[in-house]
Amino acid sequence: MESMSFVFGIIGMSLGSMGFIYGMSSLGQIKEIKKKMNELDEEVKEIKNNSNLPRD
């Protein structure tokens, strides 16, 4: 995660304060997306465990 912060920091420094704000908001959105992906992955695993479907 530190590397992504570094990348967004570099983008922000090269584009000024508006770029920095964009980078920070993008980083927050990435965190939200990762959280939702993990939640959905857990739901899929739970559904597969509770059903008779063939497992991958």
Does residue 21 form part of some domain? Answer: yes
Predicted local confidence at residue 39, as pLDDT: 96
pTM of the entire structure?
0.56
For residue 41, being part of any structural domain is answered with: yes
pLDDT at 1 over 60: no
Residue 33 belongs to a domain: yes
User: Would you say residue 42 lies in a domain?
Assistant: yes
Q: How many CA atoms lie within 13 A of 31 on its CB side?
A: 10
pLDDT tens-digit readout, 11-50: 767 777 777 788 788 888 888 999 999 999 999 998 888 8
Residue 56 has pLDDT above 60, yes or no: no
Residue 56 resides in a domain = no
Residue 30 lies in a domain: yes
Check: CB of residue 30 under 8 Å from CB of residue 4. yes
Q: Does a structural domain hold residue 55? A: no
DSSP string, 18-55: HHHHHHHHHHHHHHHHHHHHHHHHHHHHHHHHHS-SPP
The residue range of the domain holding 32 is: 2-50
Enumerate residues 6+ apart whose C-beta is below 8 A from 48. Answer: 55
Residue 13 lies in a domain: yes
> Would you state the pLDDT for residue 54?
62
Residue 12 CA, chain-centre distance (Å), reads 19
In the chain, the number of structural domains is 1
In this prediction, residue 48 carries a pLDDT of 86
